[in-house]
Structure 1
Amino acid sequence: MLKIPLKTVKQFSCFIVEKGVPANQTGYYLKWLKYYLDFCHKYGFKALDMENRTRFLEKLRAKKQGESLRKQAHHAVSLFYEMTSPCLENSAGIKNRKVTDTGNNVASFFQTETDDSNISSNTPFSQAYAVKSTSNSGNPDHDSESGAKVKITDADWTEVFNELKNAIKIRHYSPRTLKAYSAWARKFQAFTRSKEPSLISTGDVKSFLTWLATDQGISASSQNQAFNALLFLFRNVFNMEFGRVDGIVRAKRRPYIPVVLSRDEVDRIIGFMRYPHSLVCSLLYGCGLRISECLSLRVQNFNFDMGILTIHDGKGRKDRTVPIPDVLVDDLKAHLEKVVSLHEQDRRDGYDGVFLYGLLEKKYKNAARELVLQWFFPAKELTSVPETNELRRYHLHETSMQKAIRRAVKKARISKRVTAHTFRHSFASHLLQANYDIRTIQELLGHSDVRTTMIYTHTVKSRTIKEAKSPLDF
Structure 2
Amino acid sequence: MQGKQPRLRDQVRAVIRVNHYSIRTEKTYWYWIRYFIRFHQMKHPRDMGPPEVNEFLTWLAVHRNVAAATQAQALNSLVFLYDKVFGTPLGEIGDVVRAKKPRKLPVVLTHDEAMRIINHLSEPDKLIASLMYGSGLRVTEACRLRIKDLDFQQQVITVRDGKGAKDRTTLLPATLIEPLQNHVESIRKAWQQRSEEFLHPVSMPFALARKYPGASRSLAWQWLFSSPVLCTDNLGNVSRHHRHISSVQRSVRGAAKAVGIHKPASCHTFRHTFATELLKRGNDIRTVQDLLGHADLRTTQIYTHVLGQGFAGVRSPLG
State TM-score, norm by structure 1: 0.62
Matched, 1:330 2:178: yes
Tell me the equivalent position of 1:426: 273
Tell me the equivalent position of 2:316: 465
Aligned length: 315
Alignment gaps of 5+ in structure 1: 1-19, 26-157, 469-474
CA contact (8 A) 1:260 1:426 kept: yes
Alignment gaps of 5+ in structure 2: none
Tell me the equivalent position of 2:239: 392
> SS of 1:216's equivalent?
coil
Between 1:334-343 and 1:309-318, the stretch displaced more is: 334-343
Answer 1 or 2: higher relative contact order, Cα 8 Å, separation at least 6: 2
CA contact (8 A) 1:347 1:369 kept: no
In structure 2, what is the Cα distance between the partners aligned to 1:228 and 1:175?
A: 16
CA contact (8 A) 2:66 2:101 kept: no
Q: Call closer, same or farther: CA 1:273–1:210 in 2, change over 3 Å.
A: same
Matched, 1:402 2:249: yes
Deviation at 1:388, TM superposition (A): 5.0
CA contact (8 A) 1:292 1:398 kept: yes
In structure 2, what is the Cα distance between the partners aligned to 1:349 and 1:295?
A: 17
Tell me the equivalent position of 2:54: 206
Deviation at 1:168, TM superposition (A): 1.9
Q: Which letter maps to 2:276? A: S
Q: Call closer, same or farther: CA 1:465–1:379 in 2, change over 3 Å.
A: same
Residue 438 of structure 1: which of 272, 285, 294 is its match? 285
Deviation at 1:225, TM superposition (A): 0.8
> SS of 1:173's equivalent?
coil
Q: Which letter maps to 1:340? A: R
Matched, 1:254 2:254: no
Q: Which letter maps to 1:416? A: K
Q: Which letter maps to 2:252? A: I
Matched, 1:224 2:224: no
Q: Which letter maps to 1:439? A: R
CA offset digits 1:251-302 (Å, max 9, x no partner): 2041331111111111111111111111111111110101111100000001
Tell me the equivalent position of 2:160: 312
Between 1:238-247 and 1:308-317, the stretch displaced more is: 238-247
Where in structure 2 are the equivalents of 1:145-156 lying within 5 Å? none
In structure 1, what is the Cα distance between the partners aligned to 2:107 and 2:273?
A: 8
Q: Which letter maps to 1:191? A: F
CA contact (8 A) 2:83 2:90 kept: yes
Deviation at 1:369, TM superposition (A): 0.6
CA contact (8 A) 1:339 1:378 kept: no
Residue 187 of structure 1: which of 18, 35, 47 is its match? 35
CA offset digits 1:51-99 (Å, max 9, x no partner): xxxxxxxxxxxxxxxxxxxxxxxxxxxxxxxxxxxxxxxxxxxxxxxxx
Percent of matched pairs sharing the same residue: 38
In structure 2, what is the Cα distance between the partners aligned to 1:239 and 1:349?
A: 44
Q: Which letter maps to 1:440? A: T
> SS of 1:372's equivalent?
coil
Larger of the two Rg values belongs to structure: 1
Residue 91 of structure 2: which of 243, 257, 272 is its match? 243
Q: Which letter maps to 1:225? A: Q
